[in-house]
Structures are given as structure tokens and as C-alpha cells.
Structure 1
């Protein structure tokens, strides 16, 4: 009876703004994965907090190792065009719940959302 009164995050869209993703993360919804398809070097320099690196050349071959097809996936690349290509590849590989993160990392940073970097260890 009161289920209509409980706020819920907006459903995932094929093209999502960074604010849509941040809203889901703030909601505490763990059933999503953020994939960065840029090069490993670009990922290590800076990426959306919590994202995993699956560069375009290994995206489809490696995604099945860790991510179930029913999972919600937010993907971003170097450009919106690259992001769209990655999303299309994922959908063709059997992942129906894919959102293209419009503006990618640049849009994420522009609004001041958290990013991570991986430091190189020099031996």
C-alpha cells in the first residue's frame, strides 16, 4: 500500500548523464558495474571511482569472466562515439542493460564527482 511512497532511483536509460549514475551510486544500489573502455594508461591516470578497466580491444573477450549478463552496466570511453561503440558491442554480446555515460570521465570531473588514479610503482 505504501510502496508508492518509497523513493526509488530513476530506471537506467540507454544514454545516461553522469548525474543519473551518481544518483544510483548515492542511493547505494550495488547491482551495477561501471566500465572504462579507454586504454589502461588513461585508466591508471584517472577514472570514475569504482570503475573497472576493460579496454575496447578486450572488452567482449574479457567481460564474461567477471560480469553476469543481467547486470546493469554503465560504460564510457574516450569519446561519446567510442562509448556508443562499446555499448553496441556489449549489447551484441548478450548484455541488454547497458547505459552509455554521456560525456564520460570529462563530464564526471566537470561536476566534481570522485575519481581515482593508480600510481605506478617504480622498483
Structure 2
């Protein structure tokens, strides 16, 4: 029992989901910095409004000048089939940042119907009923 409690507590300590990140962005949670760790091409295709672009390979060199010390960092990449956000979170952790990985990534952000931003502005798709209940909140 203790192992299970420790395991799930640690997951919640180091992971967050798209709904919680959306809520925190909407609430303008102080100190929150959302980091898109994907390539420039992926960033240009669309990203979370308010996110900063910092590819994983640049975190060690640029984090100190891009992300204020003491920030609560949330990393994301493409989606559940990619571990880029995990690698990015590890880089931030090595630098001493409080960090969480956004599970589901960009894919689930879009699939839940949240707005994304690109050069043309903000846009969204209808929520996918396989990821978000039609007309209601998840209730998790």
C-alpha cells in the first residue's frame, strides 16, 4: 500500500494535465511558466497561448535568461507518444527549477478544444468527444 501511495503521490507532484494547465493559465497563476520544448517548425504550427518556446537542446544554455528563478515550470511536447516533455522537465530539474510535465501534450490540448496560437492568431477545434465530454467538464 505504501508503495502505491508513494508512486501516485509522486506522479501528481511531477505531472499535470491539459485541463489543469488551462485552468492555471486562465487564472494567471503567479510564477507559472509553460514551456514548449518542440522544434521551431512545430512551434510555428501551433502552440499554447502564453507558452514560451525553448527547445530541449537549448534549456541548459538559455533557461537562466528566459525563465525566472523560482518559477513553476510546466513542459510540453507533441503528445503521449513523445517523451520530449520528459526530457525537457529533466533539464529544468537539473537546473533546480520546480517542474512538471504536462501529460497529453499539445495533442490533447488541441483535442480538448483549447485555443492554440500561430502566426495567424488564436484558433481552436471542437473538443474531441473521446477526450472531453460533450458540453461538460471532465469532473476528475
| Paired residues of 2:35 and 2:75 also in contact (CA < 8 A) | yes
| Offset from partner CA, 1:55-101 (integer Å, 9 cap, x none) | 11112211111212310111012344111111011101111x11100
Superposition misfits of 4+ residues, deviation over 3 angstroms: none
Deviation at 1:43, TM superposition (A): 0.2
Aligned to 1:13: 13
Aligned to 1:94: 96
The TM-score normalised by the length of structure 1 is 0.79
Aligned to 1:26: 26
Aligned to 1:116: 117
- Please give the root-mean-square deviation of Cα atoms over the aligned residues, in Å: 1.6
Aligned-partner Cα distance in 1 for 2:42–2:26: 25
Deviation at 1:47, TM superposition (A): 0.4
Aligned to 2:127: none
Cα 1:13/1:23, change in 2 over 3 Å: farther
Structure 2: tracts of 5 or more residues without a match: 1-11, 121-140
Deviation at 1:26, TM superposition (A): 2.3
Corresponding pairs, count: 107
Report whether the alignment pairs 1:77 with 2:113: no
Deviation at 1:118, TM superposition (A): 2.3
Greater length-normalized contact order (CA 8 Å, ≥ 6 residues apart): 1
Deviation at 1:114, TM superposition (A): 1.0
Report whether the alignment pairs 1:45 with 2:11: no
Aligned-partner Cα distance in 1 for 2:71–2:48: 18
**Structure with greater helix share of residues:** 2
